Amino acid sequence: MSEPVTANNNYKEGLKGTTLFGGVQIYKILISVIRSKLLAIFLGPSGVGVLGLLSSATDFVYSLSNFGLGTSAVRDISEANKEGDIHRLSYVSTVFKKLVWVTGLLGLSICLLFAPVLSQVSFGSHDFTFTFAILSVILLFRMLSEGQNTLLQGTHNLRMMAKSNVWGNTFGLIVTAPLYYFFGVRGIAPALILTFLINLLVSWYYSSKIKLEKVEVSYKQALVAGKKMLKLGGYIALSGLISTIVPYIIQVFIEKKGGLQDVGLYVAGFAIVNTYVGMVFTAMATEYFPRLSSIAKESGAFNIALNQQMQICILLIAPLICAFIVFSKVAIVVLYSNEFLSIEHMILFAVFAILFKAPSWCCSYAILAKGDGKIFFITEMLVLILQVGLYMCFYLWLGLTGIGLAFIVMYIYYLIQEWFVCRKRYGFSISRDVIKTYLPHLFFCVGCLITVMFLGQIPRYIIGSILIVLAGLYSFKKLDKQVDIRGFVKSKIKK
């Protein structure tokens, strides 16, 4: 028997998963910072450029060939795991593993066959054809590695998944750094191959600990049995592919209207928003999606889980939003330099918009958990089309600051759209607790925004800090009421 879904269960599971993978995300960012620094020293600007183009090209092929299995399969594995039927779980997992091999080999084949094209498009010559040919193997390694992590996520082995992420990134850095040091640009291809191979071996080690029965499934049977998985994944992959094209369209537009400097400022600004604020969403999704998928057929439990996740999301993200708004100028200078201070207002508005993204993000995963691939694709497409139109119009009106405002408008629309879909299709209704949680934090965030925009430096940091503390205390009080954080900390100290 599975544990009944209650408010406290959802709070505890949500916080546990977010805390665990929040730490992993922070560690991955630190590893990324160290790697970037080493690459800058060992490869120089041109070498980093080569690495960037190779990575972007292989990322594109990966998006074309993976069929979104890393997300869609979590739903099926979570459902099977929830049933407690080891044979059913083993069958679904075996089907998934077969599909992973198919998509991995497909990616490898595409990269190998189109190596001359990738070289020509990326570098304007065929000089890197052989490089792309040997890099084709990383498409297989990457898909297999994601497959192992998907099994861990779907079976709710989150601690092992976290260890896999941490050790994979650590060993990858340790092993590849000497290659860049001794061989420079010539070490890029071997380093990339070793990075993905190490991640595969580490993830395979941890996924092998999952106890499954041996089930005989042919590749033909796997393709038939996995049709639903592939269909949902196809919609996810197509949506993801288009979402990677949209930023490119926007950057080309900005370059034509404002120049390369504006493009650089735009990219830098949203790197801050997506990397440092967005890591909270990445951490939460790891636990939230499989949990929601496992109860997708239980309307009451599904409604409770969605409402509780909205509360958790708002309570965790709102104080962070306040802090980023108040100390945005400091963050820009520390992460970049004084030359980037012109994007402060863009970042202010973009970070504020995250408050509208939080509940809409919870609803979008609800659509995926229900297996509504077509609806998910349509809703995402509508937002992406709106994004392009808003960004272009607001940029022409107010420059980069206008893009920050467009971000707010886009996520307000996204929130209304996702709530409407969940209400009409799944009977979802937002609880009073969510509204009572949301409104005070909306007040704190608006207060920080007004303080930063209209007051001087000293009042900005004094009043802003007070609002950050109030937002943090309010969130702590609400979370402590549900999961007894103070009691948990005391028990750990006593141990």
Q: Which amino acid appears at position 356 of this protein?
A: F
Cα distance between residue 195 and residue 187, in whole Å: 12
Cα distance between residue 286 and residue 453, in whole Å: 35
pLDDT, one tens digit per residue, over 55-112 is: 778 888 888 888 888 777 888 888 888 777 788 888 888 888 889 899 999 999 999 9
**95 neighbors 226 (Cβ within 8 angstroms):** yes
Q: What are phi and psi of 217, to 5 degrees?
A: -135, 125
How far, in whole angstroms, is CA 162 from its chain's centroid?
Answer: 15
Provide CB contacts within 8 A for 194, sequence distance 6+: 172, 175, 176, 179
Looking up tokens 């609803």 gives 363
Q: Tell me how long the chain is.
A: 495
Cα distance between residue 320 and residue 22, in whole Å: 13
Cα distance between residue 161 and residue 145, in whole Å: 11
Cα distance between residue 110 and residue 108, in whole Å: 6
Cα distance between residue 269 and residue 332, in whole Å: 8
Bigger pLDDT: 300 or 451? 451
Structure confidence at residue 15 as a pLDDT band (50, 70, 90) = low
Provide CB contacts within 8 A for 336, sequence distance 6+: 268
- What 3-state class would DSSP assign to 455? coil
Sign of CA dihedral 63, 66, 67, 68: negative
Number of alpha carbons in the 13 Å side-chain half-sphere of residue 150: 24
Q: Residue 3's pLDDT is what? A: 44
Above pLDDT 70, what percent of the chain? 90
Cα distance between residue 270 and residue 52, in whole Å: 18
Q: Residue 222's pLDDT is what? A: 83
Question: Is the confidence at residue 19, as pLDDT, over 50?
Answer: yes
H helix runs in 208-298, sequence order: 219-225, 227-258, 260-272, 279-294
Cα distance between residue 49 and residue 45, in whole Å: 6
**104 neighbors 182 (Cβ within 8 angstroms):** no
Residue (of 430, 413, 407) closest to 379 by Cα position: 413
Q: How many CB atoms lie within 10 A of CB 429?
A: 12
Helix axes 328-335, 260-272, angle to 10 degrees: 110
Helices (H) and strands (E) in the chain, counts: 20, 0
Cα distance between residue 148 and residue 154, in whole Å: 10
pLDDT, one tens digit per residue, over 295-353 is: 888 888 888 888 988 888 898 889 999 999 999 888 888 777 787 888 899 999 999 99
Sign of CA dihedral 35, 37, 41, 43: positive
Mean pLDDT of the chain: 84
Max CA pair span of the chain: 69
pLDDT, one tens digit per residue, over 158-173 is: 788 888 888 998 998 8
Q: Residue 286's pLDDT is what? A: 73
Looking up tokens 């929601």 gives 292
Sign of CA dihedral 96, 98, 104, 109: negative
Bigger pLDDT: 324 or 243? 324
Question: Is the confidence at residue 448, as pLDDT, over 90?
Answer: yes
Q: Residue 229's pLDDT is what? A: 80
Q: Residue 11's pLDDT is what? A: 58
Number of alpha carbons in the 13 Å side-chain half-sphere of residue 10: 21
Q: Which helix (DSSP H) or strand (DSSP E) does residue 174 occupy?
A: helix 158-183
Residue (of 226, 356, 219, 359) closest to 288 by Cα position: 359
